[in-house]
Amino acid sequence: MRERLLHSRALIVFVLLSLAANLSAATAAHWTVVSQPPRLVNGSPVLFRVTTPTPVRALSGNWLGHEIAFSFDARGKVWFALAGVSLETKPGAYPIELHAETSAEQSAGQAISFEKKIRVERQRYPRVLLKVPARYTAPSPEDQRQIEQDKATKAEAFKTVSAVREWKGSFAAPVQAAISDVFGVERVFNGTVESTHQGLDFRVPSGTKVAAVNSGRVILARPCSLKGIAS
């Protein structure tokens, strides 16, 4: 009799543990996080698409130390956001943390969260060897102070996140012209890597009209040392 009782208790514990595991798996399975492109590398732009286990009022995220603002696509019933991987990010798996507040009537206002690790691989970028006069690689103390001030100004501007998404639809090239320099190129001046190109350059004559690639708001427009106009 005692053996049957112990067996029954063991069976109940096993069933409860199985139910808990299945419930946990089911909850996680209802969260879907898809990143595009499928292979992410240092320097990649990223489009996240997220479906939640229940309707939510808002969705926010954090990845690689940056806040991510999500927008809702009512037609596809999916949340989406743009993010990016810096050139300095080392290979590894980095967790994206998602936080939401439910909107369903039976659980309105309930906080839910989810975490998934996103893998980043290493990408090697081309190098360009340049020989220039020493004054361009050894700025004066005054120029160095200006360079540091410009860096701080741009870093502060890059922290700006608008409350609502300002871009819409597809992105378009700013001008129809040949590409003169690509993203990620290491520029080696007089044998030393002085900068890494973090844009995409188009070769056009002076005075050519250049369009914005999408809707938005200009938050900084001023001359900057060594790198022309920041906008």
HEC letters along 163-224 = CCCCCCCCCCCCCCCCEEECCCCEEEECCEEEEECCCCEECCCCCCCCCCCCCCCCCCCEEE
Helix (H) / strand (E) containing 2: helix 2-29
| Residue 47 or residue 230, greater confidence | 47
pTM reported for the whole predicted model: 0.73
Q: Maximum Cα–Cα distance for the chain, whole Å?
A: 95
Quick count: other Cβ atoms within 10 Å of Cβ 178? 8
Question: In this structure, which long-range contacts are made by residues 186-190, counting pairs with CB atoms below 8 Å and at least 24 apart in sequence?
Answer: 186/125, 186/126, 186/127, 186/128, 187/127, 187/128, 187/130, 188/127, 188/128, 188/129, 188/130, 189/130, 189/131, 189/132, 189/136, 189/137, 190/130, 190/131, 190/132, 190/134, 190/137
Write the pLDDT tens digit of every residue in 112-135.
999 999 999 999 998 888 887 776
Coil, strand, or helix at residue 18? helix
| Residue 103 or residue 35, greater confidence | 35
Per-residue pLDDT for 169 more than 90? no
| Residue 223 or residue 35, greater confidence | 35
Cα separation, 125 vs 108, whole angstroms:
48
Cross-strand partners of 32: 51
Average pLDDT over residues 180-193: 84
Helix then strand count (H, E) for the chain reads: 2, 15
Backbone angles phi, psi at 160, to 5 degrees: -65, 125
Cα separation, 185 vs 1, whole angstroms:
77
CA-closest candidate to residue 54, choices 106, 14, 123, 132: 106
Average pLDDT over residues 177-187: 89
Report the percentage of the chain scoring pLDDT > 70. Answer: 82
Coil, strand, or helix at residue 85? coil
Write the pLDDT tens digit of every residue in 48-104.
999 999 999 999 999 999 999 899 999 889 999 999 999 999 999 999 999 999 986
